[in-house]
Amino acid sequence: MASNQHFPAVSDTLPYPVYFRLDDYRAHQQFDYQSHPWGQLTYCSTGVMEIMVAGQRYLSPPQYAVWIPPETLHDGYIRQDVVFHSAYIDASLCAQLPAQPCALVLSPLLKAILGDFAGRNVTTPATEADQRLAQVLVDQLQLAPCSRNYLPGSDEPVIAALLAALQAEPGSNRSLAEWAAQLHVTERTLARRCQRELGMPFGEWRQRQRFLAALPLLEQGDTVQAIALELGYSTASAFIAMFRRQSGGTPDQFRRGLR
């Protein structure tokens, strides 16, 4: 059963324009809705956190951060133990950052900066060197590829029909060409529409959807082999490789984090 928590409180004024936090959270934590006058970058170096904004679910596996603009009401849920990084960014520095919540692809440099501050337990960049490093983080966030969501949707009729079919049958191994024939478009047209509407290729979207479909199956205790077969993988090792790419860990590591 989830327990309700509050995100760690900070005063209404940040001690420095970029402020860092590192928190370890146990599984099944539900965080109440809140907003604050600064922007927030959330990132889990292990585990996956879910953040809800205006009814939209954003996920933060290790390869992605969730950007929450200033004054944006949000809550969070943690399925498993996570190591949770936050960077609070003063509103004065947010003009060049996304105006809407989104998933940001974390470059190795961004991960390294967040990891460096966390490793040294630095919350407020007090030295000139750390202040420069914090500014590099803000500069890099401006360049980070932004997706509407980890698993975006679409109102475009053909893509909406494709996504609904994949959601209903995540284990389907129909090729893009087979889906195109079923939807009465060419394979090339369908590939272009996927990229335009979803911001990613068909194969990447399906892999992410399978990853999300695997989480509740792992929670309820299904074996890795059974989950792999249910989600369309011929071997457990292929499923494990996909899971590691998406989460940074193995299915068994995810399951251990639920305890």
CATH value at residue 247 = 1.10.10.60
Q: Say whether both 98 and 139 belong to one domain.
A: yes
The residue from 120, 147, 174 where one domain ends is 147
Residues 6+ apart with CB under 8 A from 113: 133, 136, 137, 140
Tell whether 13 and 114 lie within a shared domain: yes
Domain span holding position 193: 157-257
pLDDT in 10s for each residue of the chain, 259 residues: 445 554 455 567 899 999 999 998 888 888 888 899 999 999 888 777 888 887 777 877 777 899 999 999 999 888 778 888 999 999 999 999 999 999 898 888 999 999 999 999 999 999 999 999 999 999 999 999 887 777 888 899 999 999 999 999 999 999 999 999 999 999 999 999 999 999 899 999 999 999 988 988 988 899 999 999 999 999 999 999 999 888 778 999 888 766 5
Domain membership flag for residue 32? yes
Q: Dihedral through CA 137, CA 142, CA 143, CA 149, nearest 10?
A: 110
94 within some domain: yes
Decide if 20 is inside a domain: yes
The verdict on 140 and 222 lying in the same domain is no
Return the pLDDT at 71.
94
Q: How many domains does the chain have?
A: 2
Q: Based on the domain organization, do 140 and 183 belong to the same domain?
A: no
Same domain, 28 and 70: yes
Work out whether strand 29-34 and strand 3-5 pair parallel, antiparallel, or are unpaired.
parallel
Calculated CA dihedral for residues 233, 238, 241, 246, nearest 10 degrees: -20
Residue 140 and residue 182 in one domain: no
Whether 152 maps to a domain, the answer reads no
Q: Which of 96, 126, 147 is the last residue of a domain?
A: 147
Residue 165 lies in a domain: yes
Domain identity same for 143 and 198: no
Residue 125 domain flag: yes
Q: Is residue 175 part of a domain?
A: yes
- Asked whether residue 118 falls in the same domain as residue 13, the answer is yes
Residue 201 near residue 195 (C-beta atoms within 8 A)? yes
Per-residue pLDDT at 11:
60
Unique residue bearing structure tokens 């989104």: 102
Query: Do both 84 and 183 map to the same domain?
Result: no
Q: How many CA atoms lie within 13 A of 246 on its CB side?
A: 25
Name the domain boundary from 147, 169, 199. 147
Residue listed under structure tokens 């460096």: 116
Closest CA to 103 of 159, 148, 68, 140: 148
Scan for tokens 């609904």, then name that residue: 164
Residues 245 and 143 grouped into a single domain: no
CATH of the domain at 95: 2.60.120.280
pTM over cut 0.75: no
Q: How many CB atoms are located within 10 Å of the residue 24 CB?
A: 10
Could you tell me if 64 and 115 lie in one domain? yes
Structural domain contains residue 36: yes
Residues 161 and 141 in one domain: no
